[in-house]
Amino acid sequence: MPGRELGLMGNTIFSVQTLYSYIDKGVFLALTSRDLPHDGKKKQKYHHVRAAKISRGESIERRPEAVQSRDDFVHWEMDCVMGKISTKRTLLVLTERKTRFEIILPMKSKKASCVVRSLDGLERRWGRLFRLIFKTITIDNGSEFSNFKGLYSLP
């Protein structure tokens, strides 16, 4: 009789879950979880590993007052808008802070190299006026702007 081997009296019926729980708690001194069919192995928890965020320049709270006040037509904000995941098509959107005028450039993907390529094309199109019209460009910490020093640098 299995109950006598465990030191129990009578015919006691346990659910599998209760039995495993009792064995884990040490109720049955002669048994350990290693003696059980499941071998006492527990499912390992998945820990999502994330890369540490790197500070990429000045915080938006430290934006100069001239940019914050929206008095001049030279300060821009830039972000990416993704299309369907299957196509990876992305739009680079530049919005002027004072007038809300927008420039929208199509890109093949949301990679930093595509952002740099799009801004280089915009700079070629505008020529010398580029540095006068785009005095500052505010970006977020998205991966597409990880090469922010290569995006735009003042002379």
Domain 62-151 annotated CATH 3.30.420.10: yes
| pLDDT score recorded for residue 3 | 45
Classified as helix, coil or strand, 107 is strand
**pTM of the entire structure?**
0.59
- HEC profile for 63-91? CCHHHHHCCCCCEEEEEEEECCCCCCCEE
| pLDDT score recorded for residue 155 | 41
Give which of 36, 11, 7 is closest to 21, Cα–Cα: 36
| pLDDT score recorded for residue 68 | 80
**Distance of alpha carbon 107 from alpha carbon 89, whole angstroms:** 6
Mean pLDDT by 10 residues, the chain (155 residues): 49 76 81 69 72 65 78 88 85 93 92 89 92 87 74 49
| pLDDT score recorded for residue 96 | 93
End-to-end CA, the chain: 89
| pLDDT score recorded for residue 136 | 86
Strands 102-107 and 90-96: antiparallel
**What residue ranges do the domains of the chain occupy?**
2-35, 62-151
Cβ partners under 8 Å of residue 53, min gap 6: 141
| pLDDT score recorded for residue 1 | 41
